[in-house]
Amino acid sequence: MPSRDRAIERCVGDVGVFGREYWGRQPLLRRGPESYDDLLDVETIEAQLVQLGRRPTFRVVQAGSTIPVADYTKRARVGGVEIDDVADVERVLDLVAGGATVVLQGLHRTWAPLATFCQELELTASHRAQANAYLSPPNAAGLISHADRHDVIVLQVAGVKHWDVEGLGDLELEAGHSMYVPAGTRHSARTTGDHSLHLTIGFLTTTRRRVVRDIIDHIGADLDAPLPFGYANSGQWETLVAEFAAMIDIASRQLAATSPAEEAARQLTRHGRRRHHHVGRLAATVGARVVHDGVRLRWRGAMRRAGIGDDGRVVVELGDRILRVPGAAAEALAVVEARSEFAVADLAGLDEASRATLARRLVREGLLEIADGPAPVRG
């Protein structure tokens, strides 16, 4: 299994079975064996509130309703500027003691472990992933029964939470358990005698409807003409029906003329424009000595060498952009393509200064990162 699949495997088990039998079809309950406390803990939530807590990065809810923002925020001074909606941690603690739930939103943007985790999920799923966290005290009423418009994976980090999920019924998630809930599946949750910390990984899916809508949006100007003047007035029924028949005919003919291969290529190009950021790019940009022969680099993105340009430089495609590097770097790029982790000194065919220059460029572009732990095996 490709190493990039390890993140989704932690959530759903067998990735192939999940994709074939559950994704977009039915809910899935998985009772371990896993642990998600490397992704988040209660101490991190407190630190986020103290250091980064400003609406809309968090909210507080109770008994299915969002508590008014003024009840748990204050004004603060930052760099000579007064800002609103900053977390009043003392008030938040009082509300939690009274049974409220703290929700941290957009953790894929503010907490590095979840940023990396969501990026790895996206590499497997091809759909955008975002992360929120819910911390509830014992015996807290959660959100009332509802259905989300996006697919969700629930990861129980700590404590216990009771759920009622359409298709699964009543169940309890304990630490290390996970659950997949497709869009449109009704569900509700509450704590019992224990507190609960769980993550929700939401997938902003690219649907078939959206693809068809994108195709229609690219249809020629015929569909941009307005409906007839006074089309809703009495006596215009036949005219309106004829107008709709003409519109449907135009759309049908142009949809039928759409090349599936060209549309697939367009969707893949759009997907390739997503840039995954990681720590280290700024350091590599401003510090010439940050990247040197002794530094190990790790594969982070995807690239394709598209050949040699008319100017003799190697053309490298990185999804959303094209790089052109000197032809002398061709052998070094072969190392980048073939290995999941390597030292800058391994970039063959270049002298030391050129190796460092190429490495810094690829780190800055997001293709590589400076390795600081065990390397994944690229599949």
Residue 94 confidence (pLDDT): 95
Mean residue pLDDT across the chain: 87
- Give the global pTM: 0.78
96 in the same domain as 56: yes
221 in the same domain as 174: no
Residue 23 confidence (pLDDT): 97
Polymer length in residues for the chain:
379
| Residue 343, token pair as written in the block | 């030292």
Helix (H, G, I), strand (E, B) or coil at 11: helix
Tell me which of 70-79, 200-209, 214-223 is least confident.
214-223
148 in the same domain as 217: no
- Residue 73 pairs in a beta bridge with 87
Average pLDDT over residues 352-368: 89
Domain extent, residue 338, equals: 281-370
pLDDT of 56 > 70? The answer is yes
Convert the pLDDT of each residue in 92-137 to its tens digit.
999 999 999 999 999 999 898 999 899 889 888 989 999 999 999 9
H helix intervals, 83-185? 89-97, 107-110, 112-125
Find the CATH number of the domain harbouring 302. 3.40.366.30
Calculate the dihedral angle through the C-alpha atoms of 208, 211, 215, 218, rounding to the nearest 10 degrees. Answer: 150
Find the CATH number of the domain harbouring 39. 2.60.120.650
Tell me which of 48-52, 84-88, 161-165, 221-225 is least confident.
221-225
151 in the same domain as 9: yes
Convert the pLDDT of each residue in 259-280 to its tens digit.
898 888 877 777 765 655 666 7
CA–CA gap between residue 370 and residue 349 (Å, rounded): 21
pLDDT of 318 > 60? The answer is yes
155 in the same domain as 100: yes
pLDDT of 208 > 70? The answer is yes
86 in the same domain as 216: no
- Residue 304 pairs in a beta bridge with 317
DSSP letters of 67-92? PPGGGTEEEEEETTEEEEEEE-HHHH
46 in the same domain as 177: yes
163 in the same domain as 135: yes
196 in the same domain as 98: yes
pLDDT above 70 coverage of the chain, percent: 92
Residue 278 confidence (pLDDT): 62
13 in the same domain as 131: yes
198 in the same domain as 95: yes
Residue that is last in its domain, among 163, 180, 204: 204
Q: Is 375 a member of any domain?
A: no
Q: Is 376 a member of any domain?
A: no
Residue 64 confidence (pLDDT): 77
Residue 379 confidence (pLDDT): 40
